[in-house]
Structures are given as structure tokens and as C-alpha cells.
Amino acid sequence: MGYFVVRNLYKSYGKNLVLDDINFSIEKGQVLSIIGRSGCGKTTLLRSLNYLESIDSGEVYLEDELLLSNEFPKKENDIIKKRIHYGLVFQSFNLFPQYNVYQNIELPLKLMEEKRKKDNLPSLLNKRIEEEILELLDKVGLKNKMDIYPSQLSGGQCQRVAIARAMALKPDILCFDEPTSALDPELTGEVLKVILELKVKYHLTMIIVTHEMAFAKTISDKVMFMDGGKIVDYGSPDDVFNSQNEKTKNFLKSSITLNQ
């Protein structure tokens, strides 16, 4: 079995089948990009994997451990234990405006470390919190912005803080939901560059929902094209971007026009 395996995932909202038999697997250090039109189920898939939505059926395994099934954990504590495997970066950065860059990363770290201490669990960190935060800021190129507040940062810088924060608890899988969709085109590149570095330099395992086709082509080990809740195409970037499937071809044609 692979490192991260999703099997036969189904989810409906009322009568609307939104995830229709989703299957895929990723090896450690690999990147999967998910592409597809608005409304095809990309966000719902990420939210379901992260325990923000329940599923109707299916299973998710990480290194053979069952992470997710339709038996949703009832205790908040159990959900937290599962969720800790993931880091999540949203389109809207969701930084705390009243805290500076350093504190934005420190807060969830402190809370989690305190909680683990109380539960007699080992720390997730190898170093002191201060050192961990500096290292994270270095990875996203923002060490010199530590004392700055979100309102004084560009959108690209905010997103890089959000990425550092999502990495803080050393997730096994980092998930991105359209990380550059809220950014001006000139700021998109700096965020994509940071994400690419996370793969090349740090070998993070990532699932990225994106409309940036050139980026998806470059960074991905696997690409998934979804339509109407189904996986229409899934394979290497070469396979998917040269697919003979009519739906895939039409989507790629329209997204090239939009990107120009």
C-alpha cells in the first residue's frame, strides 16, 4: 500500500453527490495537484480529508493507519489527533490581524505544545519554540518581517506566513486550497516559488488545489482532474496534460484562455 491512500470516498450534500468514488494514493515526498472547474468538489475533498466535513463512505490511510472513515470521531480530542497529520493553507490567509508575524506562528504552536504536555504526549518540536519559528520564517523567506503585522504585509507575504504556520506542527501532508487565487498576478509567483522550494529542498508531501496549470505541470508527481465529483483523469503531469479525454481537453483549453 502507498504512503497516503484514499479509497472509495463518497460524499453528498442532500441529493447532490459531490464526491463520487474518489481513489488516489501518494508516496512520501510526492506532490498531487487537483485541477477542475469551480464546483467540481475540490474544496469538499480537502475539507473531508481534514475532518472539516463528514464523509458518507470510504477510507483514508496514512502509513497503513486508518485516518478517516464514515465513523467520525465523537470526541474533539480524537479529531485533533487525526487532524494533526495535516497542515492546511486556504485561499484567504486567515492570519490573526492583532498579532505580528512571529506571534501568528507562535500561537497555534504554544497551544498545541501545552495541550500535548497536559496529555503526557511528547513535544512535536526538536528545538525551542523560538528557534522553530525562526527556521519556519527562513523557509518562507520572511525572517526579516517577524515584528510586522498582517495589515502591513502584501497578500503574498501573508500567504507565506500562513504556509509557515501550517508547517509549524510538522504535518505529514500539507494541503493547499487555491493558495494564489486571492493574489494579484505579480504576487502569485513568490508564493508558488516558496511552495516549489518546499518540495525540492524539504521534500514535503503536498496536495495542491490550483488553477495555475504551468505550476501544476512543474511541481506535480501526479495530477488529478475532477469533474462533477468524479476523477476524470489521474496520472503523471504528462499523461493528464496530454490526455485524449474530451472533458480534460476542454477544461485545459478553457483554462489556458483564462490564464492569458
Binding residues for ligand ADP, rule: CB under 6 A, are: 13, 16, 18, 36, 38-44
- Choose the one of ligand ADP, Mg ion, none that binds residue 48, judging by a C-beta under 5 to 8 angstroms depending on kind: none
> Least Å distance between CB 80 and ligand ADP?
22
For ligand ADP, which is the closer residue by CB, 103 or 181? 181
- Choose the one of ligand ADP, Mg ion, none that binds residue 120, judging by a C-beta under 5 to 8 angstroms depending on kind: none
Angle of CA points 147, 143, 88, to nearest 5°: 90
- Choose the one of ligand ADP, Mg ion, none that binds residue 151, judging by a C-beta under 5 to 8 angstroms depending on kind: none
| Dihedral class, residue 182 (left if φ above 0, else alpha if ψ from -120 to 50, else beta) | alpha
Cα 257 to Cα 38, 56, 134, 251, 252: the distances in Å are 16, 36, 41, 10, 9
CB 128 within 8 A of CB 122: no
- Choose the one of ligand ADP, Mg ion, none that binds residue 244, judging by a C-beta under 5 to 8 angstroms depending on kind: none
> Least Å distance between CB 50 and Mg ion?
13
33 binds Mg ion (CB under 5 A): no
Angle of CA points 162, 168, 169, to nearest 5°: 130
Distance from C-alpha of 76 to C-alpha of 158, rounded to nearest angstrom: 29
DSSP state of 157: H
- Choose the one of ligand ADP, Mg ion, none that binds residue 13, judging by a C-beta under 5 to 8 angstroms depending on kind: ligand ADP
Beta bridge partners of 174: 87, 206
Window 42-81: residues binding Mg ion (CB under 5 A) = 43
> Least Å distance between CB 133 and Mg ion?
30
**Interacting residue ranges for Mg ion, rule: CB under 5 A:** 43
